[in-house]
Structure 1
Amino acid sequence: MKILLRIFSLTMLLANAHAEPITMSVFSHAKALTISLPANPTTGYRWFLRSWNTQILTLADHHFEAQNNGLMGAPGAMHYRFALQPGKSWPAQLHFMFEYNRPFEKGSGMMQEVVVNRVEAAAVQ
């Protein structure tokens, strides 16, 4: 089992060593935004939120959700929910920076940028 976890961890890191930014959208009338990233905490790797626009967003919640397959140590997703602060509006584009690493191993991680574009509600038919 440990060998499988190590292989999964190494595969995930190598596949994402030069990860392209993840792009997503948020409707202009939305009050919150959730970013979900693939994760498997049993490998020792964790997502760390490194930067976001704290002037207009508040980190409201973050939690891990395992896949519903009944297997111990199965991967899942880390969810980060951001709330738009009262009186603020979404800018045309937001940038978030996350780091996926093992805190106990220096240089074990990778950076992942998430770019969020505002979409006007009227633009969607």
Structure 2
Amino acid sequence: MLAPRLTLMFGLVLLSACAQKPSSVSLEQNQQSKCPISLHIGQQFILRLPSNPTTGFRWLMRDSATQVLQSLGPEVYSNPEDAGLVGSAGVSTWRFQVVKAGEGQLALTYERPWEVGVVPAQRFDCTLKAQ
């Protein structure tokens, strides 16, 4: 009689472990079709976008979804290819913490900041829903 109860208890523990939410959610530019994204308070949200600042282009934050997110620091640029070549492309990464329930908009444009009146080369726009 004890063995079936232990088996049932062990099964329930395994199910509850599988149902837990991931501690972080990552999104890249080619995954923008997944928007809107559902998040949970306490999760980290990581955004990675291709970038090449040697060309003068930068991702500019237009809306940082402050209704639901808190920034964990500035943009971090890295060159994953480690090619060491001048002008090679890399990745810009932003890290956020989901701090409030609600809905927010994360919007960035890829442009040369000094070029006034020029349409941005790229846009990233995603609705975030936190609970």
Structure 1 stretches lacking a partner, 5+ long: 1-18, 121-125
Cα gap change, 1:102 to 1:71, in 2 (>3 Å) = same
Contact 2:66 2:104 in 1 (8 A): no
Cα gap change, 1:112 to 1:21, in 2 (>3 Å) = farther
Contact 1:102 1:108 in 2 (8 A): no
Counterparts of 1:115 and 1:75, CA distance in 2: 27
Q: TM-score, normalised by structure 1?
A: 0.61
SS in 1 for 2:72: strand
Whether 1:71 aligns to 2:84 is yes
When the two chains are superposed, the root-mean-square deviation of aligned CA atoms in Å is 2.9
Percent same amino acid among aligned pairs?
23
Q: 1:101 aligns with which of 89, 108, 111?
A: 111
Counterparts of 2:125 and 2:115, CA distance in 1: 21
Contact 1:21 1:113 in 2 (8 A): no
Partner of 2:3: none
Partner of 1:9: none
Please state how far the C-alpha of 1:47 moved relative to its aligned partner.
0.3
Superposed counterparts of 1:42-53, under 5 Å: 42-53=54-65
